[in-house]
Structure 1
Amino acid sequence: MATERPKTGYQVATSDWQIFTNNGRFDNKLPPSQRLIRAKSAGYKVFVLPIPKPVKPKHTKPITEKAQPQVDNVENCVLVWLHQSMDGKSKVSQESKTQLQQIVNSVKIFADPTECQRFMSSVRDEKIFVILSGAVEENFVSNIHEEKQLESIYVYNPNKVKEESWYSQYPEIRGIYTTLVSLCEQLGKDVKYIDSTLLSFEIMEKSLSKNLSKQSQQEVMFMYDQLFRDIVLKVPDENMEDMYEFCEEKYRKNEDAQTFIKQLRKTYTANEAIWCYTQDQFLYRMLNKALRTHQYDTLYLLRVFIRHLHEQIAKIQATESIAGKKLYRGLPMDNEDFEQLKKNKGGLLSTSMFLSTSVDREVALGFAKPPPGNNKKVGVLMEITVEKNTGVPVANIAANSQFKNEKEWLFSMGSVFRINSLEHLSNEGIWVVSLTLTDEHDQRLTALKEHFKKSMENSNNCLNFAKLMYQLAAWKKSEYFYLMALQMETSPQLRSVLYNNLAMVKGELQQYGIALHYYNESLTLEDRVSSKATTYNNIATLYRKQKKMDKAIEYFQKAIEICDTEETKDEELVAILHTNISSILNDQGKHDEALQKCHEALAIQTRIFPEIHPSIACTYSSLANTMSHKKLYTKAVEYAEKAFNIDQQSLPPEHPQTLLHKNNLEIYKQQLEQHQQSDK
């Protein structure tokens, strides 16, 4: 029985500003025969084909697209109101909904219990508060009470109907309320408690041997968080108008929020970032929710405020000594997360958020214990020792805070701590976790981050964000930022880069006609032949995805000819071309030549890239494909494992490249098993 043939990935090349400084020129006067001789002497496989005609995209009319943000709930909580009535219709008034939106910005109204439960099961990043009114059924409560994100249930009984005896069986039911005012009062307290205690930590295991996949994914995402931080802090930008407009739209039903935004518009300065952050308002909730859940659309809009906040913390830190300081943070931790923490004494704990702490142990202790009856959480008091300055600023912000009595110290985003010990204090019903601030991290990931950062230091911050989103395989977000960059960019050469990169995104979204249109726009704007090689490679890749092999070969050859005539070669592009051509050669049955191309690509990449760069994984995958064609299945599995391991250590979870390479690895293993069985 034949096994599935592995799919080969083709690499597209991102145009960068650095390409424009390349002085190499393509000599159009050189006869075609001499061009072929020169290409052969350089070791390239030459395909005798006509010079490609200009690209003729299906879309001939100008394509006008606008950037649209994709942000739904910007806060930590969502309120669900299920009103069950005899006629199956919701009778919740708009006035009541608006009243609730002063506490929880996202309010969802349901009349159907099944739809309500389906929605609750889909929530991943927010805590859920539920109001039940009308004909409250125990069956529904029984179905939802173990939902992981469920926080509390409130029974709204304005008609003072007799209470059901089963209410007491569910600790999630906070109470029965006969007025919306009393319900809102309790809801407000509970939401404020969640906002003040909800934190996101990644625990990096001490041993790599137990769960390499989970370990790597956590560290990789933390690396991308740091890359985001570096992008935001690097580029000076003082335009906060898009942040104000975004906040006004999101909180259009919240009167207090609208008043706060108007105040910011009138009086905000960079020196007031900490004061604004500590206000009992939406800003700190929105910011940390976006950091916790990697909502880069929102983070881009908050970029100026984020930089101001970070810089003000660093400025205060520079004026006082922090060595030997002990700080405290109390929080109720999910049982599952706490068990992982207990198993990893000596490991690292990191957070992408801004972290509020106090020098007053009693203040922190007040936030540590979970609500009465909540058996899903464990009370934790973090005792943090700060022995030295690290790359993450931490400072005493009491003088700048709205809540001076809390004696607050604030860590900027991206803190890493060493887990020293855990001690259970039975008399207080909490666990004390001893941590030390550290700057330890994986050196290979640091090298990879620095490599990526070099291509994300453009003055156009939208371009930097677009590249980051592309690296994360967040295609729609990448498209959003590229379109924004196009709207503000006037330089023909940089617009050429943006069209090329936007076309890459469209290719990933399988919008091939539009992608070809954008590649054509890039070629029209770019007058440097050296930069056109990148676009020709990408057009070839696009044709390869569409199984148009003759066109793919035609444009790969065009890119090769340009690279060969350049005095200063773009080695990254040359390596990509070697890898892509190897797949063409395998399709043609020329496996030994394909193998040579793969090794040539690998020789370049291992010299110019960090050791866990995703492009090296692509080349290992091509080597595996070649070995499979040569029926050397043991070698195919070996190279496929190398590709998959690099993916796990450099790409976010569920990245398409990782999934492709994982699937191919399984196919090679099947081929090897079948080959071994046939030899018996």
Structure 2
Amino acid sequence: MATIESSNERRQNLLPNEVPKNKEDIQLIWLDRKMNNSDDNHLTQSKLIELNPAVQFYSHFDQCLDLIKSIKDEQIFFIVSGGFAERILLQIHHYRPLVAVFIFCSNRQRYTPLMKEYKKIIGIYTKQPSLIESIREKMNLIVKQTLTFNLSDQKQKSASFLLHQMLIYVLKQASQDEHSKKEMLNMCRDYYKNNEQELQKIEEFQNNYTRHKAIEWYTDKCFLYKLLNKAFRTDDIELLYTFRFFIIDLCSAIEQENYHFKIKETLTLYRGTQIPNEELEKLKENIGKTISINGFFSTSQSISSQFNDFILVLFEIKVDPLLERVVYTDVGNRNRIEDEEEEVLFNLNSLFEIVSVCFDSKLGVWKVELNAIDEDVENVEEYLSLSKQQMEEYTPLIYFGRLLLNELDQVDRAGKYFNMLLKSLPHDHSDIAAVYHNIGIVHEKKDELDLALKNYEIAYEMRQKQLPPNHPHIASSLNNIGLIYKAKGDFNTALDYFQEALKIDENLNSDDNLQKAMKIENIGRVYTDREDFDTALTCLSHALEMFKHVLPDQHSDIARCLGGIGYAHEKKGNLDVALDYYQQQLNMEEQCLPFEHSNLSVHLGWIIDIYKRMNEIDKALDLCEQKLAIQKTRLDENHPRIARTLMIMADLTEDDNPNQALQYYEQALSALEKCTSSDYQVTSECLTSMACLYSVCDMMEDALRCELKALELDRQTLSSNHSNIANSLRNVGLCYEDMNNLSEALRYYNESLTIYQANYGSEHEMVKEGEAIIDRLKDKQLPLSSRKKKKTTKKKSHSIAEPSSGRSNHKK
């Protein structure tokens, strides 16, 4: 009992950012003031852990409420004691992720009236066995009907739609061996360590699984089904990569079975589900568009089998027997679940056209009519052709990490992935140089320039020994080393590296080429930094035309180049022209980057900066409010993108309405502190911006408090000589200078300058400025106007660090 109690206590009253990651679609939560008062309660907790490894227990009302409100990607099963029931249901009953409520109490009759008022209450239970059985039964229903989709159309592919297609393509090319099988099963054992039934299934899989049993195992609705479906639904790429062993087998099995499953007339299939109202509205607005289901799509030939207490929407799917590239098969005879013998399973990447969406009064549900299609497959394959070209040069092992780094903007996860490869691959593995190269990109994205350069140089040395001097990977190494010198302010050296890399690419290919376009763009950016704007714009325009010739119409590389042209015009003083290019950039990125991507916020900030300089404050605020409204419908209320938008609005209003600006900053800071995946650098930036506003209002104690907190956060999360720490040290020094504490100010300035000198050359603007501040301080003549926000030290000087096989969309 002691072991059970200690295990259960580790999941009690946790804050949202302390709750471990849930790998299933359902999040079970139990709220009871008397959580630990009896052995019966501890036994119930253990039973619930078997049902749902991510279950959380609460005796504190407010902390439980915070967790519920933070959940977006799971469906909540909520157990509540009678004493808390009415109070919390008043606040959460209409919350979309909440799908089922179970009241667990000693007096059923007392709480029965609540069932008429709150429709999500499944039942009132006084005995543990009946509670557990009811939860298990309802969970099985929800697991079967959970569905997520992406929308697209013939003219314009959404970012999530295309990225999902690319991710699945890469996974299907990955290696499949005993090591990948062991990796998958070890993860499953760890996650289900308290579930004896699933552990037995995992053991059976290890001992008896063969490739031809893949369909049978998937339809068993056991650990494979639950974990895979959640991973596909949320694009959890780490989990999907872990399951590559089984995904490859299941795709192959469906393709093979498809050859034997021949139909002579149109097949009608059904799938019941429960989707949010906003998703239903999205379907209504997109009649004639293409829908792609995230993951394998399970349907039934029987309409009656699709109805239960949770069904609100019924998909009716028509399949033309003449469509050759729609891959599906009848899996009824392979299904371990007795009541699902008429199941038809579609393969990954299956596409459907939305024909109609209407309410069926006879059935009492919304009916969505879909037609299976294959004409859109060609459009998807056109987009994937870039991936295929790059994977001819590099393995899926490396390309998978690229997806994390570039398209999905998941730098920390990419860093963990490539460092895992570095530890697990043999030292003479053919991908080791590419691993070092990509670790360098991770460090560069984090502004850890010396670490980036170290890894780039290791990769370059290895490639020089292994490859001919005109190999494209040599050019990639030269390009990325050049990026570090550019970031350090050594523009001449950077230009030499870029030109040497370009020379290799030109010798390899005389036609328009993606790699050549990248080098030309980087050369243009160097000329922008050197304020040779005419040469810069010539290079950048050349690069843009080349990108447009070799890439799809909507692509992040084209968008980035548009931003580079806009930046050159901004520095040249052509604000109207700069604004137009920045707007083109953001419009394109909104089509081809995930909605969560940080660049969407950063580049919105660039547009707002121009509006502010043009004194178009009202227009800027209107744009921010439009973006914020959209973000609040699609993101968690505490998402860093929402915080960034609030910070932009604060910056806009701080001159005319400092009190309003401070409210925006406080809202942003509150969101960041509650965010489940903390973005510490955005938090630090927010604190620094607040400090600047406080200092302008002559509230120096508050300014110093914020700056010291930002410095502490930077020291906790960044390497010791990171340039952001130097920025924070300088800002603290500015506060002490304004408070006339010259000795403390000088101490912080000197420490800041030491870090700047370690990162940059003696001619870099930050080094020169740091030396000038110290000289002025010594003369006791430091002007207030020298104060600068840390966020302004990273203006729009984006360049491209080429990963081993192509491009990266990061800021330098």
Choose 300-309 or 603-612, whichever is displaced more. Answer: 603-612
Instruction: Give the alignment partner of residue 299 of structure 2, picking from 337, 357, 364.
Output: 357
Structure number with higher relative contact order (C-alpha < 8 Å, ≥ 6 residues apart): 1
Separation in 1 of the partners of 2:92 and 2:420? 42
Separation in 2 of the partners of 1:565 and 1:98? 63
Give the secondary-structure state (helix, strand or coil) at the position aligned to 2:286: coil
The offset of 1:426, in angstroms, is: 1.7
Give the secondary-structure state (helix, strand or coil) at the position aligned to 1:549: coil
Q: 1:444 to 1:425 in 2, by over 3 A?
A: closer
Separation in 2 of the partners of 1:404 and 1:454? 45
The offset of 1:578, in angstroms, is: 2.6
Instruction: Give the alignment partner of residue 238 of structure 2, picking from 275, 278, 297.
Output: 297
Pairwise mapping of residues 418-567 of structure 1 onto structure 2 (< 5 A)? 418-441=353-376, 446-456=381-391, 460-471=395-406, 472-486=408-422, 487-491=424-428, 494-527=431-464, 528=467, 529-530=469-470, 531-545=473-487, 548-550=488-490, 552-561=491-500, 563-564=502-503
Corresponding position of 2:165: 226
Corresponding position of 1:191: 139
CA contact (8 A) 1:462 1:484 kept: no
Query: Match for 1:385: what amino acid?
Result: V
Instruction: Give the alignment partner of residue 22 of structure 2, picking from 73, 80, 91.
Output: 73
Separation in 2 of the partners of 1:534 and 1:422? 50
Separation in 1 of the partners of 2:42 and 2:323? 52
Q: 1:107 to 1:259 in 2, by over 3 A?
A: same
The offset of 1:444, in angstroms, is: 6.4
Q: 1:222 to 1:361 in 2, by over 3 A?
A: same
The offset of 1:236, in angstroms, is: 4.8
Instruction: Give the alignment partner of residue 277 of structure 1, picking from 212, 218, 226.
Output: 218
The question of 1:112 aligning with 2:52 is answered no
TM-score (norm 1): 0.79
Query: Match for 2:80: what amino acid?
Result: L
The question of 1:247 aligning with 2:188 is answered yes
CA contact (8 A) 1:451 1:610 kept: no
Q: 1:141 to 1:360 in 2, by over 3 A?
A: closer
Separation in 1 of the partners of 2:481 and 2:25? 43
CA contact (8 A) 1:159 1:178 kept: yes
Gaps of 5+ in 1: 1-69, 209-214, 372-376
The question of 1:661 aligning with 2:600 is answered no
1:188-222 CA-to-partner distances (Å, cap 9, x unmatched) read 1111111111111223469x8xxxxxx85xx2212
Give the secondary-structure state (helix, strand or coil) at the position aligned to 2:159: helix
Query: Match for 1:73: what amino acid?
Result: N
Give the secondary-structure state (helix, strand or coil) at the position aligned to 2:563: helix
Instruction: Give the alignment partner of residue 333 of structure 1, picking from 275, 286, 295.
Output: 275
CA contact (8 A) 1:248 1:258 kept: yes
The offset of 1:128, in angstroms, is: 0.7
Instruction: Give the alignment partner of residue 152 of structure 1, picking from 100, 109, 119.
Output: 100
The question of 1:288 aligning with 2:229 is answered yes
Separation in 1 of the partners of 2:536 and 2:369? 55
Corresponding position of 1:584: 526
Q: 1:153 to 1:458 in 2, by over 3 A?
A: farther
Separation in 2 of the partners of 1:154 and 1:409? 33
Separation in 2 of the partners of 1:313 and 1:131? 39
What is the total number of aligned residue pairs between the two structures?
586
The question of 1:403 aligning with 2:342 is answered no
Give the secondary-structure state (helix, strand or coil) at the position aligned to 1:129: strand
The offset of 1:499, in angstroms, is: 0.6
Instruction: Give the alignment partner of residue 385 of structure 1, picking from 295, 301, 319.
Output: 319
Q: 1:176 to 1:125 in 2, by over 3 A?
A: same
RMSD (Å) for aligned C-alpha atoms: 3.0
TM-score (norm 2): 0.67
Give the secondary-structure state (helix, strand or coil) at the position aligned to 1:74: coil
Query: Match for 1:113: what amino acid?
Result: F
CA contact (8 A) 1:129 1:151 kept: yes
Separation in 1 of the partners of 2:613 and 2:381? 37
Gaps of 5+ in 2: 1-18, 620-812
The offset of 1:242, in angstroms, is: 0.6
1:430-464 CA-to-partner distances (Å, cap 9, x unmatched) read 23322110124397664332112322357854322
Query: Match for 2:74: what amino acid?
Result: E
CA contact (8 A) 1:79 1:129 kept: yes
Q: 1:99 to 1:566 in 2, by over 3 A?
A: closer
The offset of 1:387, in angstroms, is: 4.0
Corresponding position of 2:769: none
Identity %: 25
CA contact (8 A) 2:36 2:42 kept: no
Separation in 1 of the partners of 2:474 and 2:73? 43
Separation in 2 of the partners of 1:255 and 1:569? 58
Query: Match for 2:316: what amino acid?
Result: M
The question of 1:138 aligning with 2:79 is answered no
Query: Match for 2:489: what amino acid?
Result: M
The offset of 1:612, in angstroms, is: 2.9
Separation in 2 of the partners of 1:118 and 1:524? 51
CA contact (8 A) 2:151 2:161 kept: no
Corresponding position of 1:26: none
Query: Match for 2:391: what amino acid?
Result: M
CA contact (8 A) 2:398 2:431 kept: no
CA contact (8 A) 1:448 1:612 kept: no
Separation in 1 of the partners of 2:357 and 2:523? 55
